[in-house]
Amino acid sequence: MAHLLEVEDLEVKFALRFGALTAIDGMSFTLDKREKLGIVGESGAGKSVTGFAIINLLSKPGYISGGRIIFEGRELNKLPDEEMRQLRGNRISMIFQDPMMTLNPVFTIGTQMVETLQAHRRIGKREAWDLAVEKLRKVYIPSPETRMHQYPFEMSGGMRQRIVIAIALLTDPSLIIADEPTTALDVTIQAGIMDLLQELCESEDMGLILITHDLAVVSQVTERIIVMYAGKIVETGPTEAIIHNQKHPYTKGLIASLPGVGEAGNRLNQIPGMMPTLTAIPEGCAFHPRCKMSEAVCQREQPKPMPVMDPGHFSACHFANSKEIVI
Amino acid sequence: MFAFIVRRIIEAIIVMLVISFIGFAVQHSIGDPIRDMVGLRVSVEDREALRDKLGLNDPFLTQYFRFVRNALHGDLGTSYFHNKPCTEVILSKAPATIELVIGSSIIILLFTFPVGVFSAIWPRHWFSRLTMGASTVGVAIPVFLTAIALIYVFGVELNWLPSYGRGQTVNIGGWETGFLTVDGILHLILPSVSLSSIMLPLYIRLIRSEMMEVLETEYIKFAWAKGLDKKRIWLVHAFKNTLLPVITVFGVEIGILFAFTLLTETVFQWQGMGFMFLEAVERSDTALLVAYMMVVGGMFVFINTVVDITYGFVNPMVRIAGAK
Amino acid sequence: MNTLERFRRSYFFYSFKRDKTALVSFSIFAFLVLVSLLAPVIAPHDPYDTSTIDILDAEIPPSWMDGGEDRFWLGTDIQGRDLYSTMLYGLRTSVAIGLGAVIFQALLGIAVGLTAGYMGGKTDSFLMRIADIQFSIPYLIVAIIASAVFQLAFGVARFAEMAMPLLIVIIGISEWPKYARTVRASVLGERKKEYVEAARVIGLNRWRIMIRHILPNTLTPVLVISTIQVAQAVMSEAALSFLGLGMPITKPSLGSLIKAGFEYVFSGSWWITFFPGLLLVVFTLVVILFGDWLRDVLNPKLYKG
C-alpha cells in the first residue's frame, strides 16, 4: 500500500555568507493514513525544519538541497509554486506553537476561517461561514457563532489553539503537521488539546506528525517516534519501544533525564555537554563527544540507522545490536 | 467606545484652555492696542480714558475671560495692519494653506505606499535600493532648499512651471480654490512637491520597515501555511497590520506638514496663513499673531483628537480595551 | 584597565571601526566641527569686519568661473563678503546653536523625565500632561511662534543682539518633551529592578538614588536620540533664520545665508544659496548617518554578543 507521505534522504541547508550549514542531513521516514508519528529532539535538532521542509515553506536562507518528499504520490519539492500553494492548508495543514502569534490580531476568527476555505475552493461566503461554524463545533468550542465575530485577543490560549486546529481541519486535509502545539499552553490545557488531536485523527482519517521536545506528550499520543539529534535521525521505532527499550545512548539519556523516571530523592540524570550547533558538528557520530560508549570507530564513521530487535525499530549507533546501551 | 470618545474630547478642551491662556498672556503683555488704534498725537490722558473705556485696566483674569468668551464667538481681535477682524483675515488666507496641504498629502499617499510596500517585499531590487538611498539623503535636505532647487530647475531654467503665487483661483462661496483651473493647478505643483519632500523619505522608510517587520510575524507565516494567495497575504494581511502604526504617524505628521507650509509659502510667495503670519511679525501685528496661535493650536488639538479616535476604530484592541 | 583602554577594546569601538558608514560620517562630522571651531584662524577674510568689505565686490562668482577672482574662492555674497569665510563662520554659528540647544533640551528633559518617572503619582501625571500638551504641537511651530513672540517683545534690534542665546533657548524649549518622555520610559523600566530596591533598603535618599543610580542607566537612549536631535536643531535654526526669525544677516548662520541668496537665484547668482545649502545638507547628513549607526549599535536587542 502506498504511504501517505514518504521522505527519502531529505537534506536541508542554510546558505550563509561563509558557507552552507546542514540543518537536516539525510532523513528518511514514512507516514501512513491515520498514523500518528512523533518527531522529538532538543531545540535546534532540526524538527521544525522538517515540518517546514515538507510544505516547502523554509524561510531564507534555508533550502532543500537533496532528497525527495512524496505526498499522495506527488513529489513535493519539485512542484511549481502555484501547485504547492494549492496543497498547503488544503491537503496538508500545519499548526504552529503559539496561537496568539498564529492568528492575525486585526481580523475576526470568521474572516480568517472563511478566507482559508475560499482560497482553496469555489465556495460562497455564507456556505464557508456555515462550514467554519461546523468545524468550531468539532473542536468543542462553545457558542461557535459568537466566536466567529470575535478577535483572537478576546479568547484564552486553549480556545485559540482549538480554533487554529479548526482552521487546519477546514479543508479536510490528509495530513496535519503540528509543531509544538501545546508548548505555549498551560499544562492543564495541554491534555485536552492532545486528546482532541488524537480523536480527530481517528474520526477524520488524517495522518499526524507531532513535532515536540516534550516526551511525555509524545508518548501518550503517537504510535511511532523519530528521535533527532543534530539534524539526523538517531533512533526511530514504535512508541512503546522508544520509551521502554531504547537502543541508542542519546535516546536512553533523554528518557532517563525525565523527572519522575528515577527514584524520588535522587539527582536528575543529565547528559553531559550540549548538542552541537550547526557550525560545529563533530566528525563521525555527532553524539560521540557526549557518549559514554564511544570508541574509535565513532569518531571516524557516521553510523547509519540499522534495524534492531523489535519490528520497525532502527538505531543509528554502531553498537545498537552488539552492546548494551549505557549512559 | 463612547466613553473613550468623551474622554478624548474632554482632554482636548483642557488643552485648548491652556493654549488660550498662553495666547492671552502674550497679547496682554506685548501688544498695545491703544497705540495700534490711535495716532501719536493723542494725549496721554485721552489714551488712559480710552484704556478704561475698553476695559484694558481691568484685572488680568477678567480680561482673560472676556478674551475666551470673544474667542468662542469667533472674535479673535482686530488685525492692526489689515484693519479687519483677525478671524476674517485668517479665514481668507486659510484656503490657500489647506489646499497646499491637500496637494502634498495626495502626492505623499500616492507615492509612498506603493514604493514602501514594494521595497519591503523585494528589498534587494535596484529600485528599492535607489529609493532607500534617496530617502536617507532626503531627510537631510531642508524643505526650503528643495523648493529653491525646484524653482531653479523647473521655473528658471526649464520654465515649465510657475514659481510664485497661486495663479488663477475660483471663488466658491468664499473659498478661493486653485483646484478648478489649469493655471491654479499648475501653480500648486511645485509648492506641493516641495512640501511633500519632507515627508516622503520618512514615510517610505516607515512603511517599509513596518511592512518588513509584519512579514516576519508568525501569523503571516501561518497565512502562507494556509495556502493563501500571495497577493492576499501581502495586500490584505500584511498591509492592514502595517496601516495601523502608519496612521498614527500620519496624524502627527500632518501637523509637521502644516508647520512646514510656513517655509514653503515664503519661498513661493504663496498667500496662505503662514505667509500672513510672517508678515504679521514683520509689522508687529500682535493681535493677528495671537489669533494665528489660537487657530493653529486649536487645529492641532483637533487633528490629534480625530486621529486618536480613528485609531480606536481601526484597531479593535484599543477600542475594546479602552471602553472597559 | 583605564577608561581609554576599555574603550579601545570595547565592542562599541570594534564595530565602529568595521562599519564604513560610521567611520566616514563621523570623520566628516569631526572635520566640520573642527573647521568651524577654527574658523577665525582658517578663514581668509573676516566677514564681521566691516572695514574689509567692499560693496563693489558683491556678487562675484566662484573663482573657477568667468568673472571669478582668486581671492574669493567660492565667490562673494550680496554685500561683498567672501562666501567661503562667511560660510565657515556660519557653520560655526549653526553648530554652536545646534549643540547648545540640544544640551538645553537634554538637561531640561532629563530633569523632568527623571523626576516624573521616579516620583510617579501626581507629579508624574502633571509633568507628563505638560509634555503631552506641548508634544501635540509640532516643534517647529512652537519654535516659530516663540521666536516671533520674542522678536515682538524685544524689538528687532535687541533680538538680533541676543539672537544666539535666544535661539538656543527657543529651540531647547521646543523639543524637551522628547527627552522627558524617553528618560521617563527608561526610569519606569529601571525602577522595577532590584538594584533600586537594594538602594532603598540601604536607606539612600530619593535624589541620590535617582541621580547616582538610575540616571546612568537611562543615558543610552538619551545618547541615541541626541545625535538626531543635533541634526534637527541645526535644521530648525536654519529654518528659523531662513524665515527671518533667527540669526540676523550681520551675524550669519547657514540658514540666513541661504535666505539672503535666495532672491539672487533668479538673477543668476546661484552660488550664494548653493554652497551654504550644500554645506548644511552635508553636515546634517553626516550627523544623521552617524546617529543611525549609533542607534543600531546601542540597541539592546541586537547587542546579544
Helix H, strand E, coil C: the string for A220-231 is HHCCEEEEEECC
Residue A60 reports pLDDT greater than 80 = no
A88 to B225: CB separation less than 8 angstroms, yes or no: yes
Q: What is the value of pTM for the model shown?
A: 0.74
The length of chain A is 327
Distance separating alpha carbons of residues A286 and A249, to the nearest angstrom? 12
Residue C125 reports pLDDT greater than 60 = yes
Instruction: Give per-residue pLDDT as tens, B255-312.
Output: 778 888 888 998 888 888 888 888 888 887 888 888 888 888 888 888 878 877 777 7
Helices B182-215 + B86-121 axis angle, to 10: 40
Residues 6+ apart with CB under 8 A from C4: none
pLDDT of residue C303: 38
Instruction: Give per-residue pLDDT as tens, A76-86.
Output: 888 888 888 88
Q: Using pLDDT thresholds of 50, 70 and 90, give the confidence band for residue C24.
A: confident
List the single residue in B218, B225, B237 with the smallest CB-CB distance to A55. B225
Place of cell 474622554: B7
Per DSSP, chain C holds a count of helices (H) and strands (E) of 13, 0
Instruction: Give per-residue pLDDT as tens, C225-255.
Output: 898 899 999 999 999 998 888 888 777 888 8
pLDDT of residue C1: 54
Distance separating alpha carbons of residues B135 and B143, to the nearest angstrom? 14
Instruction: Give per-residue pLDDT as tens, C192-203.
Output: 788 877 887 887
Domain boundaries, chain A: 5-222, 228-315
Average pLDDT, chain C: 81
Mark which residues 88-147 of B lie under 8 Å from C by CB. Answer: 136-137, 139-145
**Greatest Cα pair distance in chain C:** 78
Q: Taking CA atoms, what residue in C is nearest to B280? A: C148
Instruction: Give per-residue pLDDT as tens, C251-305.
Output: 788 888 888 888 777 777 778 888 889 999 999 999 988 888 888 777 655 433 3
In percent, the amount of chain B with pLDDT more than 70 equals 89
Substitution target in C137, C147, C170, C290 with the highest count of B β-carbons within 10 Å is C137
Q: Can you read off the three cell numbers belonging to residue C47?
A: 566677514
Reported as type and span, the H/E element at residue B5 is: helix B2-30
B: neighbours with 3+ CB pairs under 8 Å?
A, C
Q: Using pLDDT thresholds of 50, 70 and 90, give the confidence band for residue A293.
A: confident
Secondary structure class of C225 (helix, strand, coil): helix
pLDDT of residue B323: 43
> What mean pLDDT do residues C208-226 have?
80
A120 to B227: CB separation less than 8 angstroms, yes or no: yes
pLDDT of residue C102: 93
List the one residue out of A267, A322, A260, A261 whose CA is nearest residue A295: A322
Peptide bond into A61 cis (omega under 30): yes
Distance separating alpha carbons of residues B116 and A27, to the nearest angstrom? 41
B151 to C265: CB separation less than 8 angstroms, yes or no: yes
A90 to B227: CB separation less than 8 angstroms, yes or no: yes
> What mean pLDDT do residues C41-55 have?
71
> What mean pLDDT do residues C84-111 have?
90
Mapping DSSP onto H, E and C, the string for chain A reads CCCCEEEEEEEEEEEECCEEEEEEEEEEEEECCCCEEEEECCCCCCHHHHHHHHCCCCCCCEEEEEEEEEECCEEHHHCCHHHHHHHECCCEEEECCCHHHHCCCCCCHHHHHHHHHHHHCCCCHHHHHHHHHHHHHHCCCCCHHHHHCCCHHHCCHHHHHHHHHHHHHCCCCCEEEEECCCCCCCHHHHHHHHHHHHHHHHHHCCEEEEEECCHHHHHHHCCEEEEEECCEEEEEEEHHHHHHCCCCHHHHHHHHCCCCCCCCCCCCCCCCCCCCCHHHCCCCCCCHHHCCCCCHHHHHCCCCCEECCCCCCEECCCCCCCCCCCC
Q: Can you read off the three cell numbers belonging to residue B77?
A: 481681535
CB distance B278 to B266 below 8 Å: yes
List the single residue in C242, C245, C285 with the smallest CB-CB distance to B144. C242
> What mean pLDDT do residues A78-95 have?
88
Q: Using pLDDT thresholds of 50, 70 and 90, give the confidence band for residue B322.
A: very low
Give me the amino acid identity at A124. G
Looking at 3.40.50.150, 3.40.1380.10, 1.10.3720.10, 1.10.275.10, the CATH number of the domain C31-298 comes to 1.10.3720.10
| A184/B contact by beta carbon, under 8 A | no
Residues 6+ apart with CB under 8 A from B105: B196, B254, B257
Distance from CA of A214 to the nearest CA of B (A): 21
DSSP for residue B237: I
C-beta atoms surrounding C17 within 10 Å: 11
DSSP for residue C54: -
- Count of CB pairs separated by less than 8 Å, A with B: 69
Q: Where are the beta strands (DSSP E) in chain B?
A: 170-172, 175-177
Q: Considering only A233-242, B147-156, C168-177, which range has the smallest mean pLDDT?
A: B147-156
Distance from CA of C202 to the nearest CA of B (A): 40
Instruction: Give per-residue pLDDT as tens, B62-97.
Output: 777 877 887 777 777 777 777 788 888 888 888 888
pLDDT of residue B324: 38
C: neighbours with 3+ CB pairs under 8 Å?
B
CA dist list (Å): B27 to B22, B33, B221, B289, C117: 9, 9, 59, 9, 35
CA atoms within 13 A on the CB side of C29: 18
Q: Tell me, which fold does domain A5-222 have in CATH?
A: Rossmann fold (3.40.50)
CB < 8 Å to B156, chain C: 265-266
Distance separating alpha carbons of residues B148 and C238, to the nearest angstrom? 14
Residue A39 reports pLDDT greater than 90 = yes
Domain boundaries, chain C: 31-298
Residue B277: φ, ψ to 5°: -60, -45
DSSP for residue C191: H
Distance separating alpha carbons of residues A80 and A299, to the nearest angstrom? 41
**Greatest Cα pair distance in chain A:** 67
In percent, the amount of chain B with pLDDT more than 90 equals 3
